[in-house]
Amino acid sequence: MFTGAMVALVTPFQDGEIDFQTLDELIDFQLENSIDAIVPVGTTGECPTLSHDEHKKVVERVVKAVGGEVPVIAGAGSNSTAEAIELTAFAKKVGADATLQVGPYYNKPTQEGFYQHFKAIAEEVDLPVVLYNIPGRCGAGLTADTVVRLAEVENIVAIKEATGKLDMASEIATRCDLTIVSGDDSLTLPIASVGGKGVISVVANIAPGDVKAMTDLILEGDFVSARKWHNKLFALSRNLLSMATNPIPIKAAMSMMNLASEELRLPMTIMDESKKAALKQILKDYGLV
């Protein structure tokens, strides 16, 4: 359930509302390209600007549209433990297979606070938990020691590693048996080299087949062939994560590919016109437009 190519799905909007028809179409596109799992309402899914009701509706719609073909790992994190438990319980109720739990943001808990937060969620709701360690977004992050402690908690089964530090992934891999997946597309292969088993991918929104081809080879242990896909995907991955804050570039790219509107919700704004020409050239060079 927690290996291979897993897409961090965007939440499409139209005129300020969630575009559920396009959401269904995006899920069909992913399934047609043999994606291994779908991860809605994470960072890429703009969870911070969805109401609780909208958040729940997206999770329920994705579970229904996927129809059990692949696992659904629903974003259910919060900087409020009680809120995270509520969202996790709802995800279980509607049939999600697991939840993605981001580190509490803004309030910057201590490591003991992180531990107690994730432990409480895992113990309260009987659903597998994928930890999401992204200190650049949260203002604070998990240390390897805390990850190792959490690995002993039943239901905590994997970690999305988005610190950008190979040493962190290496230390987790050598000290516990959590499944490690990359949280940065450009680092999927490097993290795999020290024990990673796949990626929760932004780029898979537009190139799911290629991300899947690379992770299949990684899981087969063919790193030489996987490196060819890494080299092909690298510029696309790097630029989609560096041209502007995610998910601004991926939504701009999806608009250029007629997959979804580029619309976001404030405080996120669409990509500057001055950068769009460069993005379109990147997509052309890759063969996506």
- Would you please indicate which residues are annotated as catalytic (active-site) residues? 132, 160
- Spatial CB neighbours of 76, under 8 Å, sequence gap ≥ 6: 41, 59, 84, 87, 88, 90, 91, 99, 100, 101
Q: In whole angstroms, how far apart are CA 110 and each of 113, 144, 149, 210? A: 5, 14, 14, 39
Lookup result for tokens 């790193």: 223
Q: Are 181 and 100 in contact (CB under 8 A)?
A: no
Distance CA 59, CA 74 (A): 6
Amino acid at 92: K
Maximum alpha-carbon separation in the chain: 49
Residue ranges of the alpha helices (H) in the chain? 20-32, 52-66, 81-93, 111-124, 135-138, 144-150, 166-175, 188-192, 208-220, 223-242, 248-256, 273-286
From 124, 46, 57, 50, select the one nearest 84 (Cα to Cα): 124
Distance CA 85, CA 169 (A): 27
